[in-house]
Amino acid sequence: GEDVEQSLFLSVREGDSSVINCTYTDSSSTYLYWYKQEPGAGLQLLTYIFSNMDMKQDQRLTVLLNKKDKHLSLRIADTQTGDSAIYFCAETPLRRKIIFGKGTRLHILP
Amino acid sequence: NAGVTQTPKFQVLKTGQSMTLQCAQDMNHEYMSWYRQDPGMGLRLIHYSVGAGITDQGEVPNGYNVSRSTTEDFPLRLLSAAPSQTSVYFCASSRTRGNTEAFFGQGTRLTVV
């Protein structure tokens, strides 16, 4: 079946790196995504990776994709208080629809 | 560019009342969808549309109706509100189904008492 799993909570000290992990089930997904939801707002696309890539870097964000294990991770370097949000992993199996994980709430400790 | 606009932002309904959540996008996107977000449940797809005149059910369609008479608008109707429909509702659009980026509205927080 189609499922995207991620842990629900992560606490990180300000200035440290945050690593949010996700596993997915459908190997046909062309793109895998990370969305960010700030309090009281809708989701916003943070970054995405094409399925034939292993890594994508964009400023403080690094996305790693392990297709063999169907594992996706998002690393945020030098985590700031503004990074406090819920992060959703998502896939698009056979480009039919977007399937979201339940979201990981990132809490920043001072 | 407004993107995806949802109205209202907040709504309180009594059990049994009906209402329509409005969603409009100005990006000429073909694909539009409605989700509900509940604590610990993530986003669940209610209904979606791949173009004007075409709609289909998602994973939790019961108690909701949709229509898509224009490319821009995709209203969600609650026929007879129940407390179980208390949730935050998000409308989203993208250029095509499964396209790289979905744009979300700000959400409607609905409470059914």
Mean pLDDT across chain A: 91
Q: Cβ separation of B33 and A30 shorter than 8 Å?
A: no
Round to whole Å and give the CA distance between B100 and A48.
8
pLDDT at A47 over 80: yes
Name residues 38-57 of chain B within 8 A of A (Cβ): 40-43, 45, 48
What is residue A25's predicted lDDT score, i.e. its pLDDT? 86
Highest mean pLDDT among A27-41, A87-101, B71-85: B71-85
pLDDT of residue A96: 65
The residues, ordered by sequence, that sit 6+ positions from A68 with a Cβ below 8 Å of its Cβ are none
Amino acid A94: pLDDT: 64
Choosing among B5, B43, B56, which should be mutated to test the A contact, i.e. which has the most A CBs within 10 A? B43
Give the pLDDT confidence score for residue B110 in this predicted structure: 97
Residue A23 is predicted with a pLDDT of 95
- Chain A residues whose CB is inside 8 A of the B104 CB are 42-44
For the residues of B69-99, what is the DSSP string, one character each? SSSSB--EEESS--GGG-EEEEEEEESSTT-
pLDDT band at A51 (very low <50, low <70, confident <90, very high): confident
Tokens of A56: 């994508």
Percent of chain A with pLDDT over 70: 95
Instruction: Name the residue among B40, B102, B105 with its Cβ closest to that of A98.
Output: B102
Q: How far is CA B51 from CA A30, A60, B19, B32, in A?
A: 22, 37, 23, 8
Q: Which residue of B has its CA nearest to A103?
A: B42
- The pLDDT of residue B99 is 60
Per-residue pLDDT 10s for chain B (113 aa) are 679 999 999 999 999 999 999 999 999 999 999 999 998 788 999 999 999 999 999 989 999 999 999 999 999 999 999 999 999 999 999 887 666 688 999 999 999 99
Give the gap in angstroms from C-alpha B65 to the nearest C-alpha of chain A: 19
pLDDT, residue B38, reads 92
Q: How confident is the model at residue A35, as a pLDDT?
A: 95
Assess whether pLDDT exceeds 90 at residue A26: no
Which tokens in the block code for residue B52? 């004007």
Mutate: best of B60, B93, B101, B108, partner A, most A CBs <10 A = B101
Nearest to A90, CA basis, from A60, A52, A47? A47
Q: Above pLDDT 90, what percent of chain A? A: 72
